[in-house]
Chain A
């Protein structure tokens, strides 16, 4: 049979709203090259979390919200790889930071938390994925749970470092004040929610529709770009609150970790 030529090159778009376009071009050849990074500083954030600062010669630069791929290698060649969100704002001095929870039995986080010291070397590549990136150009509504705040903090730091005036709001959820990562860095843009125990006068409980309502009922011009990051339970809860509160689902970006 004769094939209808009109169909062969027709671009295909799915018949629904999602498929948020990539926010940034992904510079693949540069981003997929493994580079040796040197640990230059370790900062304790909470009893379970610490920030690891890495010098990465040739790092191509990143946008807040992107992540890197990190590889540890044993003397016999055995390797372990993980993806970690970048915590630091773009830094033209060739440094990046990641903030890691000490996962019980964690092969990579365990090494970082119990063995790593300045001067050690690991391998990294990136930045990876344009989907969760925020270029600082659109109003951003950020919802983070636990260490899910890490890529969102990169956005907050970027906003401050560049003196951006585009609206930015951060809601961060932690079990208790002593588990709140970056506690000393939050400003007027941030609302902290505590699910197990809270400082005196602060209610204990999950993020609620009522807490989000003022932001959602009075969005900035052009509307919010929403970024949700955390455990799957947090991501489900927070993304459903946003959708129920009127945030368009095609403008909710979700990053979950198991």
Chain B
């Protein structure tokens, strides 16, 4: 351990309940994306589930909104170090979409992709059992374009680069397929509690 002379730390009180190495962004919700924010209206949005499923399906805005609504309330964690607590996202649990398509037994992973082409690779087990959502509301308001509106994926138990903005679909695979940041040196899974930031972590 290298001690930094004169460093005592300012934010200790805020560390409680946060994964290691994270700080509390409080009311801030930083925008992080590597691309130009797309101009995507709800009528242009769709969500497709394909790959290793018995029945590939596609939902448009209206069809997705007819599904049973659900809410995630809790914390999110960005690999760049900030966390934000008490988020409330409204949308549909991903299990609802998956049940409609019936994933094949061989499906073990997924690539989540955006209408822009951004991708994230995920183990399928991280997307099931009430742990992932397609959302279009945050704190009761429509999700803004900068934060992934009209709709994004939210996988709150992983670093937030997995929560693909402007989500367009999921492709189910029988192998891990690195997405955009995983190809740029980030961890394949990205569990904040184990500080899986980079692929050597």
Measured CA separation A20–B116 after assembly (Å): 11
Q: Using Cβ atoms and an 8 Å threshold, which residues of chain B touch A11?
A: 177
In the bound complex, residues from chain B placing their C-beta under 8 Å from that of A77 are: 1
A130's closest neighbor in chain B, by CB?
Answer: B184
Could you show 9 A-B contacts with beta carbons less than 8 Å apart? A12-B171, A14-B118, A107-B10, A128-B185, A131-B180, A131-B184, A235-B31, A239-B36, A240-B36
Contact (Cβ within 8 A) A250 B25: no
Taking CB atoms, residues of chain A closer than 8 Å to B30 are 232, 256-258
| A18 to B179 CA separation, bound complex (whole angstroms) | 12
Knowing A28-B185, A122-B4, A249-B35, the reply to whether A8 touches B52 (Cβ < 8 A) is yes
Q: Mark B32-59, 1 if CB is under 8 A from A, else 0.
A: 1111110000000000000110100000
> CB distance A256 to B32 under 8 Å?
yes
B147, chain A: closest CB distance, angstroms: 10
Q: Do the beta carbons of A128 and B5 come within 8 Å of each other?
A: no
Q: Is the CB of B5 within 8 A of A21?
A: no
A187-225 contacts to B (CB < 8 Å): none
Is A72 located at the chain interface by the 8 A CB criterion? yes
CB distance from B121 to the nearest CB of A (A): 10
B146 at the interface (CB under 8 A from A): yes
Please give the distance in Å from B47's CB to the nearest CB on chain A.
13
Question: Is B114 within 8 A of A73, CB to CB?
Answer: no
Interface positions of B from 1 to 22, Cβ below 8 Å from A: 1-12, 21
Q: Provide the residues of chain B in CB contact with A22, threshold 8 Å.
A: 183-185
In the A-B complex, the 9 residue pairs with the smallest Cβ-Cβ separation, listed nearest first, are A258-B30, A18-B117, A32-B200, A26-B185, A16-B117, A14-B113, A115-B6, A232-B31, A28-B200
Is A73's CB under 8 angstroms from B51's CB?
A: no
A258 x B52 contact (CB < 8 A): no
| Stretch touching chain A among B68-76, B88-96, B104-112 | B104-112
Q: 12 new A-B pairs (CB below 8 Å) besides A121-B5, A250-B117, A253-B34?
A: A8-B173, A12-B113, A12-B171, A74-B4, A80-B9, A83-B81, A132-B34, A232-B30, A232-B31, A235-B31, A249-B36, A256-B33
Among A14, A75, A249, chain B packs the most CB atoms within 10 A around the CB of A14
Count contacts on A: residues with CB < 8 A to the other chain: 66
Residues of A within 8 A of B177 (CB): 11-12
| Residue contact B175 to A9, C-beta cutoff 8 Å | yes
Task: Let me know if A179 is at the binding interface, CB within 8 A.
Answer: no
- Residues of chain B within 8 A of A12, CB atoms compared: 51, 111, 113, 171, 173, 177
Is residue B174 contacting chain A, with contact meaning CB distance below 8 A?
A: yes
Q: Which of A32, A79, A239 contacts B21 (CB 8 A)?
A: A79
Report A146-178 residues with CB < 8 Å from chain B CB: none
Distance from B49 Cβ to chain A, minimum over Cβ atoms (Å): 13
Interchain CA distance A256-B32 in the complex, whole Å: 6
Cβ–Cβ contact B31 & A73, under 8 A: no
Chain B residues closer than 8 Å to A184, beta-carbon distance: none
